[in-house]
Structure 1
Amino acid sequence: MSSAISTSGSSHKLVYIDNIKIILTILVILHHTVITYGGSGGWYWVQKTSCFAALVPMTMFVSINQSFFMGFFFLLAAYFTESSYLKKGTARFITDRLVRLGIPLLFYSFVLSPILSYLVYYFAKGDHITFLQYLSGYDSWIDFGVMWFVAALLVFTMLYVFVQQFVKTDFKKAIPALGAFKILAFAVVLGTISFIVRIVFPVGWVLESVGFQLGHFTQYISLFIIGILAARNNWLDQITDQTGKHLKQSIWLFLLFFPIFFLIRAKLDMPVSWYSGGFHWQSLLYAVWEQCIGLSIIIVFLTKGRKSWNHTSGLRAKLSRSNFVVYIFHPLVIVGLTLMIRNWQIDPAFKFIIIAPIIVIASYVLGALLLQIPGIKKIL
């Protein structure tokens, strides 16, 4: 996301971060498209497949995505927060964040969200009334939808400014980057804390309007803090290729473990919700697995990106510039295109295979077109 997570002014050696953000943005689009057609989770409109052969990989995709991709966004946002703060100063930094994050947030809640809800109401539910008639009974004006990330990032950023202003955090001693074993140990601790939080706030519990799933916020808060520390201590350059290699091996082990979750559920005939929260050992097991594979994927992305993706092209530069716009408007593309083919009489899993690449391409085309509107570039 070009604006929310800016690498402007960074050295050429961090070009790979822009390439990683393109991948993450595409994963966000695919994540919500998978949820539309079968993956677990909520969305504006869904048409779920009942094909078990499709549901298993869809469930894996959503689970693995959720283990790292939004936390990764918070880490990258934090990595460039302090340099921007020091460069701009407190007043200008706050103003910039309020404009670049606050205006898109308000636009989504007051403009885009009602449009999305109306499309579902009109086409999927078959209630053919005008948009103005729909708005007369609309009462969900504070609805951040996918922009919960931007709302949370704005909160985290303002808390960072508060700490910088009123709490002494000038650490003189450099902190070395962790190796693979310590990263996994940290993941176990993070998973344990997530388990405790999920006893009260299970995965799927949403703080209404703002859209915060507090069951995931242990990771989000931790990775935002780690992003600040990573920038101060130059961890992105310090993480060794050997660490990435070891954690790549751990990813395969954790992937092989995933079918065990299905076996445990079948053997114990337990509700799937026991993995999401509550005082159940299954919730602890899943939370630890989630953090271990999630942090491993993040480190592998960083080491792989630094080594192999640290170059750009005209197309990649345009995709990178469009990321934030794509993030904001991709729900409109997903809802619009999936509603268009809602009456197509094939299994939803096949619809996903056909429509997913079209949705990704259309989202970036729309993003590029919107950036041509005067004034948009200054905000997004």
Structure 2
Amino acid sequence: MNQRMYFLDNLRALVIFLVVVMHVSLCYMKYAPSWWFVIDPAQSMFFTYVVMLIDVPIMAIMFFLAGYFALPSLQKHGMHRFWTGKLRRIVIPWVIGVLFLSPPAMYMILLSRGKAPGYMEFWAGQFWTSMFSQSVFWFLGILTLFYLILSGFYRISPRLQSPPRMSRMPSPLFPILFITATAGIFLGMNQFFPVDTWISRYYLIVFQPLRLGVYLLYFWLGILAWKRNWFTRQGYTPKLFPWLVVCLVSAVVYLTFKGMMAPRGNEFPIQLGNALAFNVFAYSTLMTGVALFRRAINNSGGFWKSFSASSYGIYLFHSLAVYYGAYYLLNFKASPFIKAPILLICSVLSCWVLTVALKKVKVIARIL
């Protein structure tokens, strides 16, 4: 990768760190989902707001970056080598994660509430029936689906097979049209599903119906951005200040509408405002992140080199570190503002060290 593009890897590493922050915060937020893995009695609204804000843009950015890097990889390596790499890096971790790392995560729901049977009894019974989940590995399943869609279109589309030829600046209307499309999908699905619904009954694919189409559009946006040479020296780069202003304003608006969804979520004007604010916030956060990292964190040395290289392993392993760490902190009588940082630091560092250690094993290094 060209030196000037390291900021995208660094942005992805920060987003993964924010995923861990969100999962830690869920343990200490007020009004946590009743099914959350560990709910500590030490709670604060601060962590509720942290969860609400981080939840919006992180996966949109992850799917955008996946799309941005997918097409050049497919063009460079060809279909066979592309899928050999994805099998090793995405599909195998997905399968192993669902079979061996997701069950102990779901087991924590019962264990933390004092209702757990023996683990093998749980794995053979409840996990595959009433408590099936892919935990954090749902992302890899959806990503595999999007790669399959891209591969199908790649076979029949000469435009996808051709390299980018010239830089194209997006029209001023483009963000409006894109946000309108994603908000329309979000709002349309909200007519059939509550905003935070998860569907897991199909086993192979676990998803949020309001967001699946939105994420597919962000994956496509990443492909489009690469084809049009966005973020290169000659191409389009978003301006930091205006997008930061939009990001901050939309965050406040989103929190306002999100707070009204629980008591008034069946009212169409509230659904419309929530859908628009959600998607303006997601898009503006992506643009703000790209602008900020391209300007200030476009290097591949020191801290960022190690953290970026280990971020995928941190994503794969962090759930058990967070949930079991939160479980052992239940009896620690302290403020959530003490417990949450302890849990966050210990979870990130332990997964970082584990990833570095596992990378010394040649077979595992090819995955991580």
Structure 1 residue identity aligned to 2:193:
F
Report the CA distance shift for 1:102/1:147 in structure 2 as closer, same or farther (over 3 A): same
Q: How far apart are residue 236 of structure 1 and its match?
A: 1.8
Superposed, which structure 2 residues align to 1:1-380 within 5 Å? 10-38=1-29, 40-41=32-33, 45-48=37-40, 54-55=44-45, 57-122=46-111, 124-125=113-114, 127=116, 129=118, 131-140=119-128, 143-169=133-159, 176-178=168-170, 182-208=174-200, 209=203, 210-237=205-232, 238-240=235-237, 243-258=239-254, 260-261=256-257, 265=260, 272=262, 274-275=264-265, 280-348=268-336, 350-380=338-368
Which whole-Å CA distance do the structure 2 matches of 1:156 and 1:31 have between them? 25
Deviations 1:158-200 (A, max 9, x none): 1100111134545899673336664245324421331112211
Report the CA distance shift for 1:300/1:225 in structure 2 as closer, same or farther (over 3 A): same
Preserved contact between residue 79 and residue 231 of structure 1 (Cα < 8 Å) = yes
Structure 2 residue identity aligned to 1:220:
Y
Which whole-Å CA distance do the structure 2 matches of 1:123 and 1:221 have between them? 35
Preserved contact between residue 32 and residue 43 of structure 1 (Cα < 8 Å) = no
Which whole-Å CA distance do the structure 2 matches of 1:124 and 1:160 have between them? 43
Counterpart of 1:7 in structure 2 is none
Q: How far apart are residue 376 of structure 1 and its match?
A: 0.4
3-state secondary structure, aligned to 1:80: helix
Structure 1 residue identity aligned to 2:104:
I
Q: How far apart are residue 304 of structure 1 and its match?
A: 1.4
Q: How far apart are residue 65 of structure 1 and its match?
A: 1.6
3-state secondary structure, aligned to 2:366: helix
3-state secondary structure, aligned to 2:340: helix
Report the CA distance shift for 1:118/1:182 in structure 2 as closer, same or farther (over 3 A): closer
Which whole-Å CA distance do the structure 1 matches of 2:112 and 2:56 have between them? 34
Structure 1 gap ranges (5+):
1-9, 266-270
Structure 1 residue identity aligned to 2:315:
Y
Structure 2 residue identity aligned to 1:280:
F
Which whole-Å CA distance do the structure 2 matches of 1:259 and 1:110 have between them? 36
Which whole-Å CA distance do the structure 1 matches of 2:285 and 2:315 have between them? 21
Structure 1 residue identity aligned to 2:99:
F
Q: TM-score w.r.t. structure 2 length?
A: 0.87
Report the CA distance shift for 1:256/1:201 in structure 2 as closer, same or farther (over 3 A): closer
Which whole-Å CA distance do the structure 2 matches of 1:104 and 1:44 have between them? 23
Q: How far apart are residue 338 of structure 1 and its match?
A: 0.7
Structure 2 residue identity aligned to 1:198:
N
Which whole-Å CA distance do the structure 2 matches of 1:344 and 1:301 have between them? 36
Report the CA distance shift for 1:376/1:303 in structure 2 as closer, same or farther (over 3 A): same
Deviates more, 1:67-76 or 1:159-168: 159-168
Report the CA distance shift for 1:43/1:324 in structure 2 as closer, same or farther (over 3 A): farther
Preserved contact between residue 35 and residue 43 of structure 1 (Cα < 8 Å) = no
Q: How far apart are residue 63 of structure 1 and its match?
A: 2.3
Structure 2 gap ranges (5+):
none
Preserved contact between residue 28 and residue 41 of structure 2 (Cα < 8 Å) = yes
Q: TM-score w.r.t. structure 1 length?
A: 0.84
Report the CA distance shift for 1:150/1:245 in structure 2 as closer, same or farther (over 3 A): same
Q: Percent identity?
A: 21
3-state secondary structure, aligned to 2:271: helix
Q: Please provide the CA RMSD for this pair.
A: 2.7
Preserved contact between residue 240 and residue 291 of structure 2 (Cα < 8 Å) = yes
Which whole-Å CA distance do the structure 2 matches of 1:123 and 1:186 have between them? 42
Counterpart of 1:5 in structure 2 is none
